[in-house]
Chain A
Amino acid sequence: MMTGRFFAGQGDRRVTIALLVLLAAAAIVPLLALALPADSALHMPPYIVALLGKYLCYALLALSLDLVWGFCGILSLGHGAFFALGGYSMGMYLMRQIGSRGVYGNPLLPDFMVFLNWKELPWYWYGFDQFWFAALMVLAVPGVLAFGFGWLAFRSRVTGVYLSIITQALTYALLLAFFRNDMGFGGNNGLTDFKDILGFNIQAQETRAALFSGSALMLAAGVFVTWRIVSSKYGKLMIAVRDAESRTRFLGWRAENVKLFAFTVSAIMAGIAGALYVPQVGIINPGEFEPGNSIEVVIWTAVGGRATIVGPIIGAVLVNTAKSWFTSALPELWLFALGGLFVLVTLFLPKGVIGLWEQWAQARLSRKARMADAAALPPATIVRVPSRSSGGSAGTTVEPQPAE
């Protein structure tokens, strides 16, 4: 019965395919990278594994933004902050794993603290030598911040551009705070020079492959959770709040709580993405709080297609692949290309790549129907287009509304 629900509807089919692809990638990429000899045509070099792993983290970040923006109408321009906080939590664990192998050989204090002449570990660094504690903080720090921020903002009914602006201010404030050496997070340089994760060498090919698989599995989990949320009654409520907030209030729903839940879940997902990102790129610094980063996430989501589950993943991978190519081939043109892309998508592809695909599929379907009509001319037959496909049976095929 459960599987029956799994394969219902068009949006649901796409989600199923995405889940299968991610699970397959989690299994196959390590094989290609590790089991095949280096001269084999199918061998995957380590830098590609790391690059793909990074893209998957970005995809999870874009998915988390889509949960609040696409489905609940909250345009957060500060989602990078939650990503970075998850990243810092993981970075602190990795710093403490260095132990006495740092440049200064201090068994307790990370190098930058020795350099600043600090004598003891600040209290908020306690516990980060334990992986379970760091993992908990990866969820808790972004989650609690989002909950507190959302509680204040949504209760005061801050919506639309005003909300977007204060999310932007939030990430900017964190950027400035983390730049300061006194904060105890490595200031300008951030956290880097990691050695081990869970006792494995972080540079080893095996560890990199495992991190890739971890990212793919986490993204699959994110897709699954988002999909369950969106297709539940609560998910319908999110879309209702997006489209007609006051109507939900007059029906007795607390719109602020609907938003608060989505915002908190989304921040936790972004935090997980950041935590997986840091060991794969080997550094976390305040630059991750840059407001521009958060805006880029919005572009990935828009390019892929917001208010769809698969869209943001496709968008994140596409735009970042383009970025990798541009920044090596035509570095000075990248920002123009990104800006141009955003304008193009806003003007011509309001539903992103997924919307384009849907249009194309629909056009093909109606062409087929017309041809079938023409073939069966003498007795006028009615070709039925499956009504479900356009009916939006899951919350995943609906038209996104402009964000207030």
Chain B
Amino acid sequence: MSRKSSILYLDGVSVSFDGFRAINNLSFVVDRGEMRAIIGPNGAGKTTMMDIVTGKTRPDEGEVFFNGDVDLTRHDEAEIATMGIGRKFQKPTVFESHTVEDNLVLSLKGRRAILPALFQRRTPDERRRIDEILGIVRLGDKRDALAASLSHGQKQWLEIGMLLAQDPKLLLVDEPVAGMTDAETEETARLLKDISATHSVVVVEHDMHFVRELGVRVTCLHEGSVLSEGSLDFVSADERVIEVYLGR
């Protein structure tokens, strides 16, 4: 697959922490507009892979390219975020002492300079955009509520909303349905499918039921490299995947 047409391109990436190889010669490619699910047992390197893509961790070796030609290993978190990669953490991370609306205000795409923020007022455009996002993430009635008062599932949605506000080209979503009820899980699958119509998305998830609902190409990681890749049926029929992850 060619690098030029990809949104995310990893080739031969390795990283070690104190001698432990968290990522070991990892290579995979996500196409523009694609949604990809990543599965794998604990310690397979899923979160470390996201750390590398978002600039939190520097790889020891290997190439990481975004949008075909941007070398991500040369940029830090803030730069990568402004270039168009949004990340949702495993544990929902929102600004608890701000209202839902303010959470989105701070996430909206726009200038990230500090001094202008002292005098910036909200524009009608921004207000419209916030309304729109609140609708998408089903939090329209929670606008003025403190983020701390939201349920676990609502926090997950708010965080996805914050990602959308950034208007990224690529969304990295780490375990979006952990701790959600079945109804919320279904709702989230629908939400992500809506989002994937206009964005490239990489979802890390353990919940196989949820992954099936997404109905997308699946990559299974194990010990820092790709074990198997293909449709969910193909991957879950793979002997090695069954052995290390799914159980016989």
Contact = CB atoms under 8 A, between A and B. Distances in A.
Given A244-B93, A247-B94, A387-B144, A236 B105 contact: yes
B166 A251 contact: yes
B112 interface: yes
Nearest to A261: B114
Contacts of B145: 391
Interface in A262-307: none
A71 to B, nearest CB: 10
B99 interface: yes
Interface string A21-60: 0000000000000000000000000000000000000000
Contacts of B144: 387, 391, 393
Interface string A331-370: 0000000000000000000000000000000000000000
Contacts, number: 93
Nearest to B83: A252
Given A232-B120, A233-B118, A236-B105, A253 B112 contact: yes
A153 interface: no
A252 B97 contact: no
A371 to B, nearest CB: 26
Contact of B148 (A229, A253, A254, A399): A399
Interface stretch (B37-45, B74-82, B183-191): B74-82
Contact of A252 (B56, B99, B112, B148): B112
**Which range holds the interface residue count of chain A?**
20 to 34
Nearest to B97: A398
A234 B97 contact: no
What's the dominant secondary structure at chain A's contact region? helix
Nearest to B144: A391
Nearest to B166: A251
Contacts of B146: 391-392, 398
Interface in B144-180: 144-146, 148, 162, 166
Interface in A230-260: 232-234, 236-237, 239-240, 243-244, 246-254, 257-258
A16 interface: no
A234 B93 contact: no
A251 B107 contact: yes
Interface in B93-147: 93-99, 102, 105-107, 112, 114-115, 117-120, 144-146
A254 B105 contact: no
Contact of B95 (A234, A247, A257): A247
B94 A392 contact: no
B86 interface: yes
Interface residues of B, number: 34
A401 interface: yes
A253 B95 contact: no
B112 A250 contact: no
B219 interface: no
Contacts of A237: 106, 114, 117
B78 A239 contact: no
Contacts of A401: 96-97
A246 B98 contact: no
Contacts of B102: 236
B133 to A, nearest CB: 14
Contact of B82 (A252, A258, A387, A399): A252
Contacts of A257: 114
Given A239-B97, A392-B146, A399-B97, A251 B117 contact: no
Given A247-B94, A250-B81, A254-B112, A233 B148 contact: no
Interface of B: 54, 56, 77-79, 81-82, 86-87, 89, 93-99, 102, 105-107, 112, 114-115, 117-120, 144-146, 148, 162, 166
Interface of A: 228-229, 232-234, 236-237, 239-240, 243-244, 246-254, 257-258, 261, 387, 391-393, 398-399, 401
The 5 closest A-B CB pairs, nearest first, are A252-B81, A398-B97, A234-B117, A252-B82, A249-B77
